[in-house]
Chain A
Amino acid sequence: MKSRDLKKDNNMETGTWKVKTGLAQMLKGGVIMDVVTPEHAKIAQEAGACAVMALERVPADIRAAGGVARMADPTVIEAIMKTVSIPVMAKCRIGHFVEAQALEALGVDYIDESEVLTPADEAHHVWKHDFKVPFVCGCRDLGEALRRIGEGAAMIRTKGEAGTGNIVEAVRHMRAVIGGIRRLVDTPQDELMAVAKEMGAPFELVAEVHKIGKLPVVNFAAGGVATPADAALMMQLGADGVFVGSGIFKASNPEVRGKAIVEATTHYQDPKIIAEVSKNLGEAMPGLDIKQIPDEELLASRGW
């Protein structure tokens, strides 16, 4: 193969931590959109998405359908990969390392080990260091973020509560992560081990966050973003970028709303632009009150 010879000649090292975390750095300030067809993917790319998440169903439909949600049919993922030139992500079930192997074989650019699908393992997440393709994982607080990074996640996102169009859980999780970082920075060195024990997080990562004052990987918001203002809210709270799941293609005018959310994410500190792009977007996706959802149907509590 030509590519193999090229790699040998140039001493090219693939799958390194730097290229895994580096792709997430390139996605910063951008919007990653859930898509279920090549046509959606094209619309997302035209709207300015920095990547797409290839799915069979958006979270709102997964929630409505119930039952067991699994990795998407590779046919759907491949069709989307062929259609757009931006990175394509896909989801595997928590702990389902064989779905992850299949996604890597397909050549997806990022794997989301996602609570939106039904977990395959309630005790263990995928050991992500074994893969050349990078992973993004959800979290509700700093301890959970650091456990996933310890397993090899090269990018973190809040879990939020997917498929609800309700930003409240994403806000809760982002504040928990950012607040956790702030407290860790102020924690004296000799108390870090006790904090690591309490958080259930690897000591080395706790010590690193204490030292650098941020997560060692990129941190996006996800789970409930439905409007440009939602996206800018998450950015102002400290997100590096935004995932929008059902929020775009469950709305009445995905082209216009997608573009508006992209612009609000870039100009998140500019209220005039946010007001301007929020005009005439049509109907947002129908929202759900988290308190009306039975505990066993909450997605964020999947995984640990």
Chain B
Amino acid sequence: MRIGVLASQGAFAEHIAILRQLEVEALPVRLARELAGLDGLIIPGGESTSIGRLMLTYQLTAEVKKLARGGLPILGTCAGMVLLASRISDLDVEPLGVMDITISRNAFGRQRESFETELSIPVLGEKPFPGVFIRAPIIKEANGRAEILARLADGSGVAARQDKLLAAAFHPELTSDLRFHQYFLDIAAGRK
């Protein structure tokens, strides 16, 4: 399996390292032509404004939208989740609009409010998942075929799936727990 990791800006190297641990071919993607022949794509954490502008300038926006609608499996973490969304709380980022979710950016506040917590994610089994939230967004609403996979105690949605699209408000790539990436690979392979 060949998984591309969008490398415009952000923590793409961490995702590539995890994919290689899972023995999957992982390729950085900076140009539209590098999207060809992929079995899946990861949009990493970083600054969604910065990633969004670089995607637009280098003609990745339209191509990723097209591939997503054609069924390419995509995982978005933090900024990546913001970009997959259809609606965002502010106007600084123009999302791809491929997942039927509404996002609130920087929903907990500034960096001093960034936090770690244990998450219950039923699709990954009973063992809690280490949630690392950095200036994180939340999912305010999931509509249509989008389904919330994990919530904080106050009800805020922090992970969602819509067919082969997967999104997390937290950073599985900053932990040594491989289950979230394995879950994405299972979706990409049609096993889940």
Contact = CB atoms under 8 A, between A and B. Distances in A.
A85 B153 contact: no
B11 A48 contact: no
A265 B13 CA distance: 15
A50 B9 contact: yes
Which applies to chain A's interface (DSSP): helix, strand, loop or mixed?
A: mixed
- Category for how many chain B residues contact A: 35 or more
A50 B90 contact: no
B49 A262 contact: no
A63 interface: no
A259 B112 CA distance: 29
B90 A85 contact: yes
A115 interface: no
A50 B106 contact: no
A19 B53 CA distance: 25
Q: From DSSP, what is the main secondary structure of chain B's interface residues?
A: loop
B115 A26 contact: no
Nearest to A85: B92
Contact of A85 (B13, B105, B114, B117): B105
Contact of A3 (B53, B106, B108): B108
A132 interface: yes
Nearest to B53: A48
B152 interface: yes
* Contact size range, A: 35 or more
B45 A26 contact: yes
B109 A13 contact: no
B57 interface: yes
A213 interface: no
A28 interface: yes
Contacts of B154: 6, 9-10
A74 to B, nearest CB: 15
15 contacts: A3-B113, A14-B112, A16-B116, A19-B111, A26-B46, A27-B46, A28-B11, A47-B53, A48-B9, A86-B47, A87-B111, A104-B112, A108-B110, A109-B110, A132-B112
